[in-house]
Structure 1
Amino acid sequence: MSPNQYKPHILVLPEDDANRQIANGFLQSPNLNARAIQVLPPAGGWQRTVEQFINDYVPTMRKFSQRMMVLLIDFDNRENRLSYAQSQIPDDLKERVFILGVQSEPENLKRDILGYDTKSAFVIPFIP
């Protein structure tokens, strides 16, 4: 379901499926208005995430002033990725675009948090 574009809402653009899963996990929180957040299909790489943001979402962000964006990318232990992505955000949108990600790979984060193999991970059920 798409959020109401005329009310405050967040679009999350994940780099890949692992990042999409992280974003969808946050939507399970009962303290969150899931109707105001939409996780978009994965862009297919960190550079494609930035390119897709510029080409597809910068124009719509200017049209819909209540829209915020989260670019969810892997930094792959490369410090220049964050500064590059930040440099691509137009000045008039900097306050409404957030870049989040793990320093290495999302799979490593999950393994580190759980402390064991990800195949043994538990799933938090969605309770309507």
Structure 2
Amino acid sequence: MDRLVYVQNHIPSDLKDRVFVIGVLSEPEKLRSNINKSFEEIGDTLAQDCPENQNELWGHELLKHNKAELARIVPSLKQFLFN
């Protein structure tokens, strides 16, 4: 989580409401090996689950910390990104 705080502290205040920070809690390789999918498959699954508010993969131990950011992302981007 220290990396997340570091990144958030470097986002200019006038952009904070338009910048979204999501990621794996530890290392992406751990997630890939844990669920036995390629990074591309993981990205596709997460992108498909996002607008549908499905939390199967987003609820994974290494991703569930993104919940607050997802709550901001979906309403902000759904109209043009997830059509």
Using the size of structure 1 for normalisation, the TM-score is 0.28
Using the size of structure 2 for normalisation, the TM-score is 0.41
The structure where helix makes up a greater share of residues is 2
Bigger Rg over Cα: 1
The structure where strand makes up a greater share of residues is 1
